[in-house]
Amino acid sequence: MKNKISNYWLCQIGGWSAYCIVYSFFYLSIRTKPHPYFLTSLVIDAILGVAVTHGMRYIIKSGSFMKLQLRKQGIYFLITTFAFAFIYAFLGVFIEDKIFNILGDQMKELSFLNKVVRISLGCFLFLTIWNLLYYIFHFVEKSRSHQMDKIRLESLVKELELKTIKSHINPHFIFNALNSIRALVDENPERARTAITELSNILRSSMHAENIETTTLEKELSIVKDYLALELIRFENRLNIEYSIDEDTLDQPVPPMMLQTLVENAIKHGVSKQINGGNIMIISDFKEDYHELIVQNSGQLNGSINAEGFGIASTYDRLNILFGEKAKFELKNIEGMVQARIIMPLKN
């Protein structure tokens, strides 16, 4: 496969071609008298320009000028431009005057050094423009590269944060589920075996969830129902479960294991604290341009909400990482119940 021409050489070829075109245009449109060697002189100037600017680029890169402090960059910029303007003029005069003898008549009477000095002044302005364009191009490239590195770093941090959160979710869930099964081993071995199968199904689903940022509500609800089936072993008729799910929301994306964590939190801090047990209500619906997900449980919040608790903290963190300010989470008392409410942006 052929190597592509670098951006640098595309700019060099394009820039010096434009130089030839512009000079040819002005020569043909506003010249006062013809120059018999105009084309030869123009080609020599362009070839010299490519060679000299390429040499200047080599010095800038090998000297790492653009890594220096701004003040030193300015000093080296001027010195380099002056030096190469003189080199450009010296080579141009030598080739056109001493070798081809095609230098303009107005320069014939001047000494070699005067010719070089006069031409180098014009070259300095031209090379200054070249250098400024070169510095600006690399500044933009460096800024873009830095921005891309920043985006990659943020993406990596986001991925690591999600994995860290998930690594806390599964052990926490397994511990509570195993406690429920343990209570059945002696009392109802058959049900215990069924419960182990249910737990196996949940673990299989949660292992798949480790590799994804979001899952569908339908899959998340399947895990929640398996979890609640295990909790019914412990609470029996003391736990009442209700669902109000708009079927159109089943394909909406939600963070995996988040709903299960909220339900687990509702049972641990709400229903289990009630002497006579309590209710769990799970609601999923559309609210304006958002997907609204609600978990309600019997009980009341006492005092301030502990935002350091795992269920609340992980919910805040995951929503913020995945959706930013587009998602919201609130936990509050409503008419004898505690309500955890989440709103997330709709899937495009």
Q: State the CATH architecture for 183-345.
A: 2-Layer Sandwich (3.30)
- Of 53, 38, 13, 18, which Cα lies nearest the Cα of 96? 38
Q: Which residue has the tokens 């081809």?
A: 100
Per-residue pLDDT tens digits for 311-337? 677 788 778 878 888 899 999 998 888
Amino acid at residue number 192? A
> What is the band of 284 on the pLDDT scale with cuts at 50, 70, 90?
very high
pLDDT reported for residue 307: 47
Least confident of 198-202, 239-243, 256-260: 198-202
Question: Does position 246 have pLDDT exceeding 90, yes or no?
Answer: yes
Least confident of 74-78, 179-183, 267-271, 302-306: 302-306
Kindly state the helix (H) or strand (E) to which residue 238 belongs, with its residue range. Answer: none
pTM score of the predicted model: 0.52
**What distance in Å separates the CA atoms of residue 58 and residue 136, rounded to the nearest whole number?**
17
pLDDT reported for residue 280: 93
Alpha-helical segments (H) within 210-269: 217-235, 258-269
270-290: burial string, b at 16+ Cβ within 10 Å, e else: bbbeeeebbbbbbbbeeeeeb
Number of other CB atoms surrounding residue 175 within 10 Å: 9
Question: Does position 240 have pLDDT exceeding 70, yes or no?
Answer: yes
Residues 6+ apart with CB under 8 A from 148: none
* Residue predicted with more confidence, 97 or 306: 97
Contact 38, 25 (CB under 8 A): no
Strands (E), the chain: 215-216, 239-245, 253-254, 278-287, 290-298, 328-334, 337-345
Q: Where are the domains of the chain?
A: 7-151, 183-345
> What is the band of 209 on the pLDDT scale with cuts at 50, 70, 90?
low
